[in-house]
Amino acid sequence: MTRWLAEYAWLPDRAEPTRDVLIEATDGRLTAVTPLTGDGPPTAGVEVLGDAVRLPGLTVPGLANAHSHAFHRALRGRTHDGRGDFWSWRSLMYAIATRLDPDTYLALARAVYAEMALAGITCVGEFHYLHHGPGGTPYDDPNAMSAALVEAAAHAGIRLTLLDTAYLAGGVDGAPLTGPQRRFGDGDALRWAARVDAFGPADEHVRLGAAIHSVRAVPAEQLATVAGWADRNGLPLHVHLSEQPAENDACRAVHGCTPTRLLADHGVLGPHTTAVHATHPTAADVALLGDSRTRVCVCPTTERDLADGVGPVRRMADAGSPLSLGSDSNAVVDLFEEARALEMDERLRTRRRGHFTPVELLGTATVGGHAALGWGDAGRLAVGQRADLVTVRLDSARTAGVPPVGAFFAATAADVTSVVVDGRPVVDGGRHLTVDLPTELRDAIAAVTAKEDS
């Protein structure tokens, strides 16, 4: 058994953190969560706390990053020459994709996932579409790139939901994949499913999920094949949705309806589905998503970076869509920033304050993300849950003097001092215990960008 004594811990159903909480775990599961002070006399544990690991600051459940493309991290700081827009950004992203193979991707993803661990992320959903070798030729193991991501997460010490992504067409009109996109394609949805069926990682830290890249990349008549595969296997299904108005326009031109309507008509929506972005839904789309209890993953720092716009996030939550957060392009890896952006962006949109409570922001960053990724047993500091503990210091230049309840409005990823995943320490004293950061990040990115910068 391992025991921790948290100066403050944010317990389920509490409006604010609780002081002096004893947390116990065995075999990676929480076995007791006991406030030691409060109204009554101290409980029996107080006199035998000698062996408990002290966690000064605020301890919250593990943060879940529900939407990531690990290799986009190599683009950070490289896309702002001139007046780059979404589509010119995408060209540069393709250039990086062209240079990755299973070895360079393992090195890059291992470092990126370690950066995530340092930021308090204990579980990541990798929206993975870079499946094949140059020109689209499969590797000897057609799931070699998936295997590299599974190994990378193991090295970094975090859990992974590998959202194996069907990417079959170059546009809403079903145009064939060209150039760098050919590496993403499996031909059709049945062959996509056959490849994923052949991939069965047994590792404890990984679960599979499915993804439809977007209505741009999976022809309408094949949407149900991917959705049916996820449904039969009881796995989460994710899909990029209405990130750009251009996607809505193209879908209307070809199918005469919005992307959300198209997904609804082909059985894609539902409580096991997560729509990523949903930045430009119509009022009818918001109702379709909410009524079907489709989840929505918002990625505010990426949507900001790519000039996507601000989605009607509060309205979607009120309509019935549970929320989660993603670092997406990894231009920023900081779920505190993503969480407070929900509130801040609504303020900019509405010119009013007070849309999300601190507890809602915490829930979106923790239990909401884990649920979207198929880990219903993580994201709360409660008996039986996975022993994921993220501790944020309250004595940094950013957080000094901040009441614990205000941490999500003040802390950054740099304030995370300690991370425990499934009962195992991964970060201590603000340092990753097994991956040498930032050196490994710098080297892995140099290996795939050298030509780009020359």
Which of the residues are catalytic?
A: 277, 328
- Cα separation, 325 vs 276, whole angstroms: 9
Give the side-chain half-sphere CA count within 13 A for 137.
5
- Between 143 and 214, name the residue whose CB sits nearer to Zn ion: 214
251: number of Cβ within 10 Å? 23
Judged by CB under 5 A, the stretch of 15-23, 49-57, 326-334, 354-362 that binds Zn ion is 326-334
- Between 26 and 88, name the residue whose CB sits nearer to Zn ion: 88
Tokens of 369: 């993300």
- Between 43 and 91, name the residue whose CB sits nearer to Zn ion: 91
Smallest distance from the beta carbon of 326 to Zn ion, in angstroms?
7
Smallest distance from the beta carbon of 69 to Zn ion, in angstroms?
6
- Between 308 and 343, name the residue whose CB sits nearer to Zn ion: 308
Closest CA to 272 of 226, 315, 318, 310: 226
How does DSSP assign 273-319, residue by residue? EEEEE--S--HHHHHHHHHTT-EEEE-HHHHHHTT-----HHHHHHH
By CB under 5 A, the residues from 272 to 301 that bind Zn ion are none
Smallest distance from the beta carbon of 162 to Zn ion, in angstroms?
15
Tokens of 319: 């309509």
- Between 151 and 328, name the residue whose CB sits nearer to Zn ion: 328
Smallest distance from the beta carbon of 40 to Zn ion, in angstroms?
49
Smallest distance from the beta carbon of 276 to Zn ion, in angstroms?
6
How does DSSP assign 150-193, residue by residue? HHHHHHHT-EEEEEEEE---SSTT-PPP-GGGGGG--SSHHHHH
Residue closest to Zn ion, measured at CB: 328
Report which secondary-structure segment, H or E, holds 349. Answer: helix 335-350
Output DSSP code: residue 328. B
| 308 in contact with Zn ion (CB under 5 A) | no
Judged by CB under 5 A, the stretch of 113-121, 210-218, 320-328, 432-440 that binds Zn ion is 320-328
Smallest distance from the beta carbon of 213 to Zn ion, in angstroms?
9
Are 324 and 297 in contact by the 8 Å Cβ rule? The answer is yes
| 126 in contact with Zn ion (CB under 5 A) | no
- Cα separation, 275 vs 213, whole angstroms: 11
Judged by CB under 5 A, the stretch of 142-150, 321-329, 421-429, 441-449 that binds Zn ion is 321-329
Report CA 125 to chain centroid distance, whole Å. 5
- Between 116 and 411, name the residue whose CB sits nearer to Zn ion: 116
Largest CA distance in the chain: 71
| 328 in contact with Zn ion (CB under 5 A) | yes
Report which secondary-structure segment, H or E, holds 65. Answer: strand 63-68
Write out the residues near Zn ion by the rule CB under 5 A: 328
